């Protein structure tokens, strides 16, 4: 597979993820707090809900990328799965580290860390795709499926732990009746 084609796809993917992830921050409210939209949009300001802004666009570009170039690249799915997990871990670790050090969240830093996470994950994916890295695609599919199921379940049945707490309202998950 042509490295330039892969590189270009990763660049386009990064831009797409940054744009779509930003838009997904607002879609839940825009669509009247629709319960279907809640599955893939942030329903509050918790770290967990902001991970959706990374995961779903990256998952979409992974699926599209697999159809476009992934069938010719044996480690494509594994590389993309590792990139997604790395992006998510970066957001979690960075957010709790810097807010723990300074005692508060700063919007500009949070937004910048989202873009850094996208670039970091996509860059890692690219480096792994063009390498001789060997992995098991089935394990990657299982990992992505577990994360997907976690987002779906925890959107509606939110654990009462810090990563799920909205720092603005101090509530967890969807704060309205789920009867839509």
Is position 180 within any domain?
A: no
Alpha carbon of 163 to those of 51, 83, 131: distances in Å? 10, 21, 34
Give how many domains the chain has, as a whole number.
1
Non-local CB neighbours of 84 within 8 Å, separated by 6+ positions: 54, 55, 58, 59, 62, 121, 144, 147
- The pLDDT score that the predictor gives to residue 96 is 95
Mean pLDDT value across residues 112-123: 96
Q: Is 117 a residue whose pLDDT tops 70?
A: yes
Structure confidence at residue 134 (pLDDT): 87
Q: Is the pLDDT of residue 156 over 60?
A: yes
Task: Please tell me which residue, 132 or 39, carries the higher pLDDT value.
Answer: 39
Q: Is residue 73 part of a domain?
A: yes
Residue showing tokens 């990563």: 163
SS3 assignment, position 62: helix
Whether 151 is in a domain gets the answer yes
Q: Is residue 173 part of a domain?
A: no
Share of the chain above pLDDT 70, in %: 96
Q: Which pLDDT does position 179 carry in this prediction?
A: 44
Q: Which residue has the higher pLDDT, 93 or 173?
A: 93
Identify the band that residue 1 occupies on the pLDDT scale cut at 50, 70 and 90: low
Predicted confidence at residue 13, as pLDDT, reads 94
Cα(116)–Cα(97) distance, integer angstroms: 15
Residue 153 in domain: yes
Residue 168 or residue 56, greater confidence: 56
pLDDT(178) > 90: no
In terms of residue numbers, what domain contains 123?
3-164
In a domain, 179, yes or no: no
Q: Is 99 exposed, middle or buried (0-12, 13-18, 19+ CB in 10 A)?
A: middle
In the predicted structure, residue 175 carries a pLDDT above the cut 90? no
Residue 132: inside a domain: yes
- Find, among 83, 90, 92, the residue nearest to 123 by Cα: 83
What pLDDT is recorded for position 180? 41
| pTM of the entire predicted model | 0.90
Q: Is residue 175 part of a domain?
A: no
For 60-75, what is each residue's pLDDT tens digit? 999 999 998 888 888 9
């Amino acid at each position: 597979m042509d490295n330039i084609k892969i590189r270009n796809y990763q660049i386009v993917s990064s831009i797409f993820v940054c744009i779509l992830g930003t838009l997904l921050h607002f879609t839940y409210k825009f669509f009247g707090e629709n319960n279907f939209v809640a599955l893939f949009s942030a329903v509050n300001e918790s770290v967990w809900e902001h991970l959706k802004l990374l995961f779903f666009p990256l998952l979409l570009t992974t699926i599209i990328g697999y159809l476009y170039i992934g069938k010719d690249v044996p480690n494509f799915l594994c590389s993309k799965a590792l990139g997604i997990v790395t992006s998510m871990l970066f957001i979690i670790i960075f957010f709790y580290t810097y807010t723990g050090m300074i005692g508060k969240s700063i919007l500009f830093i949070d937004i910048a860390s989202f873009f850094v996470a996208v670039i970091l994950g996509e860059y890692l994916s690219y480096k792994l795709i063009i390498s001789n890295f060997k992995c098991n695609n089935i394990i990657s599919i299982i990992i992505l499926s577990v994360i997907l199921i976690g987002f779906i379940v925890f959107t509606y049945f939110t654990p009462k732990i810090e990563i799920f707490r909205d720092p603005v309202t101090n509530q967890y998950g969807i704060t309205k009746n789920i009867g839509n």
